[in-house]
Structure 1
């Protein structure tokens, strides 16, 4: 303890723990500040409770002792950060002469572990010139792996780990695996083993014991943690593949064994979040799992597994020359409007390649259908990437429309103009691409389309529901959300405050929904549908069709917000409702069954005014 501080403790003026902490801030000692970096205490004035510290990023800072107590942390003189303050040139020389020793020293000063990003922040600019760092780091990583004194991960965001003690590198890697408390820890340890498999050149027995432990962990966890169990087995197989003398026991659990125990939906949910390389290893096990049925099985997962999975499955099917089976599945799913956004994105991106046989006008209708349904549903949006692709890929709309006849193009363009997902400027931009491909659609941006934009025909009941929702948002949900934000703000650091982020996200949703409702209500014109013209299918008419088997099918074409599949009520803005408008008795039309979503040919038998 510093002599001056010891006197204060002996006199009973400060407690001993305070004296020990105060001694750490005595002149000549080192400390670290979160913003200013490492520093050396150059002077203090105990009576006035002041301390002067030279920081690496802010020299000669005079601080209140209490503030210094709270905002700084003591570090020993041999700490790497302390040496940056007083022995910077020595560190620079060491970086050139022995980068491994420099990094070992740095890791040792940070508890033995540090991410690549944190390491660069500590070295670049001070010890190593920023322009030279990338080249230096690549050379240093190679030297680190050869020395085996440090575990160097493949990913930049993962931590480097200093190996210590008397263990060999192989023993340390095995110890890391054995110390893992869960599957995630085991997977991370296996990845480190795979990246440093040379350490086991003379110690294959240690790896063989690991295989037994992995097998047991995968079997126990597969029911409740299927995704991680599959990832563990994929990491194990990577180790076995890189260790030439290592083979799996015939009784060991394989990825293919676990695939046989789960349905497509469950598998997609578990595998979707995994990294691409792990997903590929899992999908490559399908032939072993399902034999001749593997293609039929894997395509069931295709449109459920997320963007990474879609890409990997498609690559495997291309390599195995099974693309025709994928095409059949996709065409069927598109016809049923059952394809998800990730699969549609893949089709659009591969429209001139692997998906050329699938890319059709139906893809455009499926895209708009997904965007509209997602817009109307509660919860987070699932089609943002799909919408972004449609707007940013300048050729996509033109390629779609060029496959349509003029009537299909007009219907598609009309539906796009009425889609609530797109802003007005966005619609103009998209429509310009459609017109470029099909000039005859230009009439849709004339006065007729403007009138359709201004007037929205709705039933009185649906209009009242919209007004009630708007009133609830303004009078109840927005005020409550404001209170929730205020309460959440008091929970602490906003950067890691989940409640605050959730409340702010909900605030954004409410604001957007309020503006949307206000716009829709301002355009709405209420009606009871009395006196509707029944000479042809119009808004407010009931249409009786006969299908190909002579069975009667009845639909009511009503207002913009009146869709009700259970009652066969259609909005005149919906794809089906819009296709009926203008039909007369005897006319035929291709339509989708609301229950099965299958295409059918309908013939208009009679038309009557809707009677509410």
Structure 2
């Protein structure tokens, strides 16, 4: 027989098609061979279905199949299931089950009492006789049972065959509970001493010691006894009762790494899928070969094999496996349409499989690249990026051109370090020219600007690393901060810049101020006030550090103190903008923060935090939400709703619409509102912006410059009278 019968039975159960199920059962029981596992699963499935009661009149037909396997452990399980289901209670069945129990338990001193309790003395009703006898054997003080009615795991505290009842303590029900044998037969399932639940509730300290000594063994027991479980379900079973809560994250991270290498456990690829205990061992090599049988496309193949060899490098000692991989790569090279980046990475694999020997096609490929930088950018694996860079440096005379192009393009600091290090050996002047563009346009490569400035503060020998260079980079960094802090996609960068500025009691700021002129420091203080991410405390520290170097700047600090509660501190907004920000604050506080906490816990459950992309993404989202909430809350406390009466059209100010004409007579309008309504595409400018500040106080007839356009103001209007 094949397991195909199981699918047919299940289909009829799902459709509640009892006639078809019964017809198939008649056919099944007439078979000459028996698949014990299939029969067990069929009986188990029907026992849990609505067809169990009517099927009870026909289940005994399976006895002919049972006869063929009755001396096996599986045969005993099937016999028990047959009597759990049967409802005819015929004398023939009664004698059969009595003899079965007599043969196995006849020496039991309470055998006759138990036979009476399970209904075999009168032979009138003995459904579940085998299960009930096994349960009675298990009813001993200190043993554990599971309550199917929702009381959870219970420990047997007392038992009386005279009163035919027992007392138990359950994990989900307070106090001691008395239960009759009759109710016990209906609701209790015996838990063997070596079952996970018995170990967890009976010997949690011992189980904790085993989990810390051999985590995989405990996970094996857990999956064996409770079936497939997700990471969060495993946590629910083990945390606190077995592994202390404060130790869980570290334990699970280590354990999950070990589970990946366990040949008897199927590890899921996502949070929602469960860990499964395999029936037979599957080697690491077999697992990869099975995945490769699905014929993944080149990009997926590269990622899959790289991750596998990173986790299981010992598999390369298997010559047959090495040969199989080599053939797979050569086949991909010969039969697939590959990009230069994919082809190069496959060559790298072939080099590794050749015990590190150089693969001649690698050299030929790198030499003929039209754009090495495009190839490097197309490689996702960092180790292969570095390898490609090293080959370009070694084999191409024009390597410096590519390296200069890639210096700003790569995102990973180790790659930046390598590229910069090689360029500085021969191309210092060209590097300096590239850095000048950063100072001119800090927004173009913001992450590189911060990275290089951090290096400069530790190494004066770098290009532009002198006192003047640091001053120029500091100015560019403050300009960058003021430009990106309102961009939600740059929250992480803003956080890194603030950390750089404030770490070590503002040591970096202190070092720059020490060598800057009074005029430069004064410019820094002005730029700092434009950075909304810097708190009043930060600005005060900036002023204090400035006064130490240039005492004459003390008056600026006093002016700042006096004016901080004035007009500049007010966040003007329309009523619509006020409600929008208030709603956003509530959304972050009550919805998104809670959702993010769940994401972090779910991702943490995956373990292996160093390579856990979901965990890192969840933490980054938390940082973004916290930063946004701090910024909006600080602004909200300073907010004031703008009204029609607050606006004067005598000169340019908050709430004013400026009507202008360019040199060709074309009319343009600009609106001055608060930062929450700002939308440059619609010509709505924040009154806090540098452009708006430069135009404040202008009147009709004044000439102004906006975005490179020479304009003349010909009218000033009240925003609320216009819109």
TM-score range, shorter chain: 0.5 to 0.7
The answer on whether the counterparts of 2:200 and 2:241 sit within 8 Å (CA) in structure 1 is: no
The counterpart of 1:211, out of the listed 315, 320, 326, is: 326
Offset, 1:384: 1.4
Counterpart residue number, 1:521:
640
Counterpart residue number, 1:389:
500
d(CA) in 1 for partners of 2:513 and 2:130?
77
Q: Kindly provide the CA deviation profile for residues 492-533 of structure 1, in whole angstroms up to 9, marking residues without a partner as x.
A: 9995599x999998799578536514515389995546368x
The answer on whether the counterparts of 1:104 and 1:150 sit within 8 Å (CA) in structure 2 is: no
SS class of match (1:333): helix
d(CA) in 2 for partners of 1:233 and 1:188?
16
**Residue 434 of structure 2 is aligned to residue 329 of structure 1:** yes
Offset, 1:470: 0.8
**Residue 471 of structure 2 is aligned to residue 361 of structure 1:** yes
Identify if the C-alpha distance between structure 1 residues 523 and 395 changes in structure 2 by more than 3 Å, giving closer, same or farther: farther
The answer on whether the counterparts of 2:115 and 2:133 sit within 8 Å (CA) in structure 1 is: no
Offset, 1:407: 1.6
**Residue 579 of structure 2 is aligned to residue 471 of structure 1:** yes
Counterpart residue number, 1:312:
415
The answer on whether the counterparts of 1:530 and 1:609 sit within 8 Å (CA) in structure 2 is: no
TM-score (norm 1): 0.57
TM-score (norm 2): 0.50
Counterpart residue number, 1:345:
450
SS class of match (1:210): helix
Q: How does 1:286-297 map to 2 (within 5 A)?
A: 286-287=392-393, 291-297=396-402
Q: Which has the higher helix share?
A: 2
Counterpart residue number, 2:377:
267
SS class of match (1:244): coil
The answer on whether the counterparts of 1:190 and 1:236 sit within 8 Å (CA) in structure 2 is: no
Offset, 1:469: 0.7
**Residue 534 of structure 2 is aligned to residue 419 of structure 1:** no
Offset, 1:409: 1.6
**Residue 229 of structure 2 is aligned to residue 109 of structure 1:** no
Offset, 1:212: 3.8
Q: How does 1:194-593 map to 2 (within 5 A)?
A: 197-198=313-314, 200-201=316-317, 203-214=318-329, 237=348, 240-241=351-352, 244=355, 248=359, 250=361, 260=371, 263=374, 267=377, 271=380, 277=383, 279-281=385-387, 283-284=389-390, 286-287=392-393, 291-306=396-411, 309-319=412-422, 321=425, 324=428, 325-351=430-456, 352-353=458-459, 355=462, 357=464, 359-378=469-488, 381-382=491-492, 383-393=494-504, 394-447=506-559, 450-451=562-563, 454-456=566-568, 463=572, 466-474=574-582, 495-496=601-602, 509=628, 512-513=631-632, 515-521=634-640, 528=648, 530=650, 574=689
Q: Kindly provide the CA deviation profile for residues 318-343 of structure 1, in whole angstroms up to 9, marking residues without a partner as x.
A: 14625624443232122122344421
Identify if the C-alpha distance between structure 1 residues 244 and 410 changes in structure 2 by more than 3 Å, giving closer, same or farther: same
Gaps of at least 5 residues in structure 2 are 1-79, 85-113, 268-273, 604-613, 661-669, 698-704, 717-723
d(CA) in 2 for partners of 1:40 and 1:304?
62
SS class of match (1:401): helix
d(CA) in 2 for partners of 1:593 and 1:530?
20
d(CA) in 1 for partners of 2:657 and 2:560?
20
Identify if the C-alpha distance between structure 1 residues 331 and 419 changes in structure 2 by more than 3 Å, giving closer, same or farther: same
d(CA) in 1 for partners of 2:197 and 2:568?
68
| Residues 440-449 or 86-95, more deviating | 86-95
Identify if the C-alpha distance between structure 1 residues 483 and 411 changes in structure 2 by more than 3 Å, giving closer, same or farther: closer
User: Over aligned residues, Cα RMSD in angstroms?
Assistant: 7.2
d(CA) in 2 for partners of 1:521 and 1:408?
34
d(CA) in 1 for partners of 2:329 and 2:453?
41
Identify if the C-alpha distance between structure 1 residues 450 and 245 changes in structure 2 by more than 3 Å, giving closer, same or farther: closer
The answer on whether the counterparts of 1:104 and 1:162 sit within 8 Å (CA) in structure 2 is: no
| Residues 72-81 or 407-416, more deviating | 72-81
d(CA) in 1 for partners of 2:369 and 2:130?
57
Identify if the C-alpha distance between structure 1 residues 16 and 356 changes in structure 2 by more than 3 Å, giving closer, same or farther: farther
Offset, 1:471: 3.3
Offset, 1:414: 1.6
Q: Kindly provide the CA deviation profile for residues 74-118 of structure 1, in whole angstroms up to 9, marking residues without a partner as x.
A: 98655688678889999999999xx8xx677456436699999x9
